[in-house]
Amino acid sequence: MRNRNRNHNPNRNLPLLKDLIRWFRKNKRDLPWRKNRTSYSVWISEIMLQQTTVKAVIPFYEKWMKRFPDVRSVAKASEQEILRMWEGLGYYTRAKNILKAAKIISAQFQGQFPDDYRDVIKLPGIGPYTAGAILSIAFQKLYPVMDANVRRVGRRILGLVSWDKKKEQELLNFLKGMIPQKNPGEFNEGIMELGQTVCIAERPLCDKCPLTKFCIGFKKNIQDLIPGKATRKITEKKTFLALIVSQGKLLIVKRNKGLLKDIWGFPEFQEQGQIASFIKKEGGVDFAEIGKLKARVHHYTKFRDELSPFVYRVKKPFGRNTGNRRWVAFKDLENYPFPSIYRKILDELSLIPFHAKI
């Protein structure tokens, strides 16, 4: 995808463009990543905003930028520190890809984010949407973006109820014809903002939309049919967690596969009775069940996992510390990345007194 300015028609859909920009300048939200527009801030915010709401991202973004103010500071960090800073955002592959990309940018581009599409698209974790956002917002290059919000706004404007690759190309051509020579990033932000705040998926706020006079979906009263409701099958799970403590330490294990790969947690079982068998098999002696903590539900991708944490105490730690299994002092657990719901379990565990003898 090259930046072919000669094919751009600045007069196409000019009234729609003017109304969108006017609306955006008046209504855009005061977001932290809009205060200092750099390629780095755009990159980090766009990655965080994938699969995550704006409201949820704000505190994570502010904490991240305080710890990692630039690309080089990210490149110097360990993966475990990166994952710990990302804790609570989920989809941890995003954080790993940020670290990989930061190392490449530091080594190959002197710590400066590249401004050529061919270089940007090769970076880990960056696809056409993110590349277009960075290049248009930070470098003012003529690349449209198409995320779920932009796609929904565009489809309603064009009245595209059905959807296939041909329709997607039609929408992309429409966006290419819309994006202006001056401030292309403002156009992209404007249409994304409209999708996030007004042209929302269910019950769009058409009375507040600046583009209704151009919108075929609104004129035909079919806006609620676009994009349609996606059905997703949820898989129910039930997991028993073993919180095994000994001499002021907790046994934790690192995932070695799946979405939570390299994130720490606790030994998991399908039945509570398996926990005692595990402790005996691993060499634990003189152990006792302390009790059960609050059951919690962990939602991720297509799973709904009911977590039942049980606390056990053993007289002495058993087994050896390895790369994927460690006995860690309670005061040091802050240094390890856990899923946010597991961090809540740890907080509850810290309130339990372990002074009673077995």
From 259, 248, 258, 261, select the one nearest 324 (Cα to Cα).
261
> Under 8 Å CB-to-CB from 298, ≥6 apart: which residues?
304, 305, 306, 307, 339, 341
From 344, 162, 138, 338, select the one nearest 252 (Cα to Cα).
338
φ/ψ bin of 31: left (φ > 0), alpha (ψ from -120 to 50), beta (otherwise): beta
Helix axes 93-108, 79-86, angle to 10 degrees: 130
Nearest-angstrom CA–CA distance, 83 and 93: 9
Read out DSSP for 10-43? TTTTHHHHHHHHHHHHHH----GGGSS--HHHHH
Please tell me which residue in 46, 87, 186, 193 is annotated as part of the active site: 46
Structure tokens at 20: 């969108």
Structure tokens at 227: 């994009």
Q: Could you confirm whether 46 is annotated as catalytic? A: yes
Could you give phi then psi for residue 90, rounded to 5 degrees? 75, 180
Could you give phi then psi for residue 200, rounded to 5 degrees? -80, 165
Contact of 59 with 81, CB cutoff 8 Å: no
Read out DSSP for 214-253? G-HHHHTT-GGGSS-PPP-PPEEEEEEEEEEEETTEEEEE
Can you tell me which residue has the tokens 């799973």? 303
Active centre residues (catalytic): 46
